[in-house]
A and B are shown apart, each in its own frame.
Chain A
């Protein structure tokens, strides 16, 4: 009963925690540009993150080592160093985008100067992370992020063409670079590496044991899948509201307008609240993810379950990430633009983390009876192929489409 309750809590937190600024931006733009034609890319990305997260959670649970520790151990220092540099850079860009996103949402709610709100957002996040235990952080952001479910209700309320919607879930192809760019963006937004670093380190923070492997599987499959429904809802709402009048969403306010069109001010407020906690939670995950990778690579003490004085370099690392993100956002850079670059760069760096995870998860000498079975291996290699294609195509498509503008 206790485990069932834990699964339910984990799933609720995963639903709210799945969506970040990448999904809010790319899914809204994808729906506005192609209505339902890109819906199929969501399940592709979601199955990928389920496969990836389940494997890394299992590795962490079985070995007691988080994914980055294992990458260094199995792939050597040089590969680990390249992965470290890439992941830190991407984490920082993503964190800056999330912090900027939080400030924008606060501005839409309170109409205060955005520079002040960036400072308020960063200070609030730092205080929450410093004083609230790990499980509490997951729940605060995960549960309150669930107000984004207003988009699921809005998607139904707006009476979509269900036949077309179902057709959109079947893979299709348009011969346009913009379509390919959004395929990469939607898949990439679901597959961002920081979620996996956070998930696998979180397994150790939560002290999962072998008996928790079912909890790991349930969290990964149900949590991310239900989170994926939110992504689908964002595309459907954007498709219903913005496709016909040819609106090109370039702001978080446009995403919020979709919920307002369905439910008026109440819809707008629920959407903004959900967006605030979704991007706030993602900001915490990014800062932690950066600190995890750095401290695990260096072999320093790490973990939120330790008091700051027991893991001072880990604490200093996530504080530094927040400080750097603050500086980046205060330069006035557009968080939406930053998000697009963060997602595309994440896609490029994805194989660096994914391949070691796959190789280790299938290694019977390391994982014993908990190594990948036939199905996990089949999905693992299939997704490695998909990730390779997507990572090779990402930068050329970003350039050809001028970041989705053409």
Chain B
């Protein structure tokens, strides 16, 4: 992201310098020819890029995988209520945070669909964790949540791999 920002800043500076020095039709054509890629580059400024989106989706997969482990322990009666509530809250908040980051970044057209899928997954994951936090004594619910979370972890990991 920093590299892209630097490129954008650099392009802006070059754009200003060129505007000041070039004149005449030939130079105008030359300028347009030069500026076209600059405009394309500038239009990419601030847009979510693949590695960033991939990292966000990978993080969502990690949260789901960890929550599945927690749910498994809960389903087997091997955990502690306060731990489930507090650590679950951390994971749920992190899932929401990742979804917000993906939602807030301007999106390059090719990334719109995977980002929407990832946001939906993050929302489902956060919901399942919150279910466990609300009723940590419900082992059957925990077992169902574990299966779902495991499935979402795989889906998110596969989605990240496509980028």
The segment from B13-21, B75-83, B105-113 that touches chain A is B75-83
Our pick among A108, A241, A249, A261 for the contact of B82 (Cβ within 8 Å) is: A108
CA A264 – CA B68 in complex, angstroms?
A: 15
Which residues of chain A (83-137) have a CB below 8 Å from chain B?
Answer: 107-111
Say if the beta carbon of A375 comes within 8 Å of chain B.
no
Say if the beta carbon of B53 comes within 8 Å of chain A.
no
Our pick among A107, A264, A265 for the contact of B86 (Cβ within 8 Å) is: A107
Q: Knowing A246-B61, A251-B87, A406-B55 touch, does A110 contact B69 (C-beta < 8 A)? A: no
Residues of A within 8 A of B69 (CB): 241, 245, 247, 257, 261
CA A357 – CA B118 in complex, angstroms?
A: 53
In angstroms, how far is the closest chain B Cβ from the Cβ of A105? 10
Q: Knowing A245-B153, A250-B94, A264-B73 touch, does A257 contact B82 (C-beta < 8 A)? A: no
Say if the beta carbon of A253 comes within 8 Å of chain B.
yes
Interface of B is mostly: helix
Q: Knowing A260-B73, A264-B78 touch, does A253 contact B61 (C-beta < 8 A)? A: no
CA A257 – CA B86 in complex, angstroms?
A: 12
CA A110 – CA B86 in complex, angstroms?
A: 9
Which residues of chain A (244-286) have a CB below 8 Å from chain B?
Answer: 245-251, 253-254, 256-257, 260-261, 264-265, 268-269, 272
Which residues of chain B (36-71) have a CB below 8 Å from chain A?
Answer: 51, 55, 58-59, 61-62, 65-66, 68-70
Q: How many A-B residue pairs have CB under 8 A?
A: 72
CA A109 – CA B61 in complex, angstroms?
A: 26
Our pick among B51, B79, B81 for the contact of A260 (Cβ within 8 Å) is: B79
Q: Knowing A253-B90, A257-B69, A265-B78 touch, does A247 contact B62 (C-beta < 8 A)? A: yes
Say if the beta carbon of B85 comes within 8 Å of chain A.
yes
CB nearest neighbor in A for B65: A245
In angstroms, how far is the closest chain B Cβ from the Cβ of A255? 10
CA A251 – CA B73 in complex, angstroms?
A: 18
In angstroms, how far is the closest chain A Cβ from the Cβ of B129? 12
Could you tell me if B82 and A260 are in contact, using CB atoms closer than 8 angstroms? no
Chain A proximity mask over B17-35: 1 for CB below 8 Å, otherwise 0? 0000000000000000000
CA A133 – CA B62 in complex, angstroms?
A: 45
In angstroms, how far is the closest chain B Cβ from the Cβ of A111? 4
Given contacts A245-B153, A257-B69, A261-B73, 17 further A-B contacts (CB under 8 A): A108-B82, A108-B86, A111-B81, A245-B68, A245-B69, A247-B65, A253-B86, A253-B87, A254-B66, A256-B87, A257-B70, A257-B73, A260-B73, A260-B78, A261-B69, A265-B80, A272-B83
Residues of B within 8 A of A (CB): 51, 55, 58-59, 61-62, 65-66, 68-70, 73, 76-83, 85-87, 90-91, 94, 153, 157
Closest 5 A/B residue pairs (Cβ): A264-B78, A253-B87, A245-B65, A111-B82, A248-B62
19 A-B pairs whose Cβ atoms sit less than 8 Å apart in the complex: A107-B86, A108-B83, A109-B83, A111-B81, A242-B66, A246-B58, A246-B61, A246-B153, A247-B65, A253-B83, A253-B86, A256-B87, A257-B66, A261-B69, A264-B73, A264-B78, A265-B80, A268-B79, A406-B51
